[in-house]
C-alpha cells in the first residue's frame, strides 16, 4: 500500500511549487503591465516637451510684443514710453517717410509759389508729430498681431499640458492597478498553496495519520489512504 506520509510530502511539494509558479507569473504580468504604463507616461512627457519646444519661439515673440505694447501705452512707466516713442522716431523707416513727406511739401510749395509762405512752415511743423502718431498706432497694431500669435501658442501649450496631465494620470492609475493586481495575485497564489497543504494535513490526520483512528465517516469524506497517497485516484 502506498505510504501516506510520502503522499503528504508530495502533495505539499506540489502545492508549494504550483504556488511559487503562480506567484511568479502574477509578478511578471504585473511588472509587464507596469512597464508598459511607464513607457506610455514617458512618451506623453516627451510629446509634451516637443510641443512646448516647437511653440516656444511664438510664445517668446508674443511676450516681447506684449511688453512693447505696454511701453507704448505707458504701462511700464513714462521713461519706457518715451524710449518707445524715440525708438520709432529714430528708426530708418520713420526718417525715410519724414524725408519723403517734406520733399513732397517743398515741391508742392515750389510749384505754387508758396515756398516763403507761412502755410508751408506750419504744415512742415505739424507733419512730424502727425507722422509719429500714425507710426505709433501702426506699431501698436503690428505688435498686436505678434501678441495674438503668442497668446494662441501659449494656449496651445496649456491645452497640451492639460491633455498630457490627464493621460499621465490615467496611465498612472493603470500602473497602480497592475501593481496592486500583481500583489493580490501573488498573495492569492501562496494562499491557495498553503491552503492545499493545510487540507492535505487535515486529510492525513482524519485518516489516522497522526495516531487517530479512521472511521467510516472520515473514509467517506476524504477517501482512502491510497487516494491520498496518489491524488490522481
> pLDDT digit string (tens) for 78-126?
999 999 999 999 999 999 999 999 898 888 877 776 666 667 778 888 9
Q: Note whether residue 215 is domain-resident.
A: no
Q: What is the pLDDT of residue 233?
A: 44
Q: Note whether residue 113 is domain-resident.
A: yes
Q: What is the pLDDT of residue 28?
A: 63
Q: Note whether residue 130 is domain-resident.
A: yes
Spell 148-160 as b/e; 16+ CB within 10 A means b: ebbbebeebbeeb
Query: Which long-range CB contacts under 8 A does 4-8 form with residues at least 24 apart?
Result: 4/204, 4/207, 4/209, 4/225, 4/228, 4/229, 5/204, 5/209, 6/229, 7/225, 7/228, 7/229, 7/230, 7/231, 8/200, 8/201, 8/204, 8/209, 8/228
Domain that holds residue 54: 17-174
Q: Note whether residue 10 is domain-resident.
A: no
Nearest to 20 by CA among 183, 168, 193, 164: 193
Q: Note whether residue 11 is domain-resident.
A: no
Nearest to 181 by CA among 35, 38, 26, 36: 26
C-alpha cell at 89: 522716431
C-alpha cell at 19: 504556488
Give the C-alpha separation, 204 to 209, whole Å. Answer: 5
Q: What is the pLDDT of residue 184?
A: 59
Domain count, the chain: 1
Q: Note whether residue 7 is domain-resident.
A: no
Radius of gyration of the CA atoms of the chain, in A = 44
Q: Note whether residue 9 is domain-resident.
A: no
Nearest to 154 by CA among 65, 92, 36: 65
Q: Note whether residue 217 is domain-resident.
A: no
Q: What is the pLDDT of residue 231?
A: 47
Give the C-alpha separation, 101 to 96, whole Å. Answer: 9
Nearest to 88 by CA among 130, 124, 136: 136
Task: Classify residue 212 by its DSSP letter.
Answer: P
Q: Which residue ranges in the chain fall short of pLDDT 70?
A: 1-30, 32, 113-118, 173, 176-233
Amino acid at each position: 500500500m502506498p505510504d501516506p506520509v510520502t503522499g503528504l510530502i508530495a502533495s505539499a511539494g506540489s502545492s508549494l511549487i504550483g504556488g511559487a509558479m503562480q506567484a511568479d507569473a502574477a509578478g511578471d504580468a504585473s511588472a509587464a503591465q507596469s512597464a508598459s504604463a511607464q513607457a506610455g507616461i514617458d512618451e506623453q512627457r516627451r510629446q509634451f516637451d516637443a510641443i512646448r519646444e516647437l511653440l516656444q519661439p511664438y510664445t517668446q515673440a508674443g511676450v516681447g510684443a506684449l511688453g512693447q505694447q505696454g511701453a507704448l501705452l505707458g504701462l511700464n512707466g513714462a521713461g519706457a514710453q518715451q524710449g518707445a516713442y524715440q525708438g520709432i522716431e529714430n528708426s530708418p523707416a520713420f526718417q525715410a517717410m519724414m524725408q519723403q513727406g517734406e520733399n513732397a511739401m517743398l515741391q508742392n510749395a515750389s510749384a505754387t509759389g508758396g515756398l516763403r509762405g507761412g502755410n508751408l512752415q506750419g504744415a512742415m511743423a505739424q507733419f512730424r508729430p502727425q507722422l509719429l502718431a500714425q507710426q505709433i498706432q501702426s506699431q501698436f497694431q503690428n505688435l498686436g498681431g505678434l501678441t495674438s500669435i503668442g497668446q494662441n501658442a501659449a494656449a496651445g501649450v496649456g491645452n497640451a499640458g492639460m491633455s498630457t496631465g490627464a493621460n499621465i494620470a490615467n496611465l498612472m492609475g493603470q500602473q497602480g492597478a497592475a501593481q496592486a493586481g500583481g500583489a493580490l495575485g501573488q498573495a492569492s497564489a501562496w494562499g491557495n498553496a498553503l491552503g492545499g497543504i493545510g487540507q492535505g494535513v487535515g486529510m492525513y490526520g482524519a485518516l489516522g495519520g497522526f495516531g487517530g483512528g479512521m472511521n467510516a465517516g472520515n473514509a467517506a469524506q476524504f477517501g482512502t489512504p491510497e487516494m491520498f497517497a496518489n491524488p490522481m485516484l
